[in-house]
Chains A and B, each alone.
Chain A
Amino acid sequence: MEGILFWFCGALLFLGGLMMVVQRSAVVSAVWLVFAFVCAAGIFAVLEAPFVAILQILVYAGAIMVLFLFVIMMLQGPVLEGEGKRIPLGLWPLIALPPAAVVVLVVGYLRQPQKTGFAGPVPEGFGSVSHVAGLLLGKYLLAFELISIVLLVAIIGALAIGLGERKLPWR
């Protein structure tokens, strides 16, 4: 089961990355990257990191890629310029099917009671939400607080850049 999931997700992850690089249109590139990220979530699930796998889909394939697509749509003119052909409508289900299969396989894998993997069995509840949360708010509390400062600075920085020089409150 581990082998099937690894080869399936790994091959599709590589394919998604390759297609992202090869595609001429930025929008199609972004869609292929979402594809690759969903498959990467499958790899995380094989590695006994279910919480990380879910966050990979929610944060990466969801939030970050929506931001990218939003900016691509906003700058539509120059980015889509010279774009010759679109993906035909019939091909879209074909692109959507593998990530769906990945999700089904991952759920099936995570529900298995006995998983040994490549490095022997892991402790009960390894990589679960409570396990990672216990580490985040315990041993790695400092890193957690620092990363929140990084995010705060990023928000303020993005706002400052977006507002332009003259509209900043301290000008």
Chain B
Amino acid sequence: MEITLTHYLVLAGLVFLTGMVGFIVRRNALVMMMCIELMLCAVNIVFAAFGRLHAAGGAHVFVLMNFAVAAAEAAIGLAILVEIYRRSRTVNVDDLKALME
């Protein structure tokens, strides 16, 4: 079967959906952040697929930007998580109800 743009977009959509479902279902904040990384990865695939379609190198540049954003997000997010753990001794989001009350 011939591979078309649709194949890549469907794959990216499936991967994004997996990450989204994981983000909603999982209660461990660390795993939730990993799900965000997976969603970012799906977006990168869409970028690369359209860059391939138009033979445009700009798409690769934006994938690299996305890498940097993901790295920044991971660094800040994990720092916040460590701080949360220091204060409340848990990373389970169900137990973190300080903002809910």
Contact = CB atoms under 8 A, between A and B. Distances in A.
B41 to A, nearest CB: 5
Nearest to A125: B57
B34 interface: yes
A26 B30 contact: yes
Chain A's interface: helix, strand, loop or mixed, by majority?
Answer: helix
B65 interface: yes
A169 interface: no
Contacts, number: 194
Contact of A162 (B34, B54, B83): B83
What secondary structure prevails in chain B residues at the interface with A? helix
A21 B21 contact: yes
Given A20-B22, A140-B58, A119 B79 contact: no
Contacts of A55: 64, 67
Interface of A: 2-3, 6, 10, 13-14, 17-18, 20-21, 26, 29-30, 33, 36-37, 40, 43-44, 46-49, 51-52, 55-56, 59-60, 63-64, 67-68, 71-72, 74-75, 78-79, 117-119, 122-123, 126-127, 131-132, 135-136, 139-140, 143-144, 147, 150-151, 153-155, 157-158, 161-162, 164
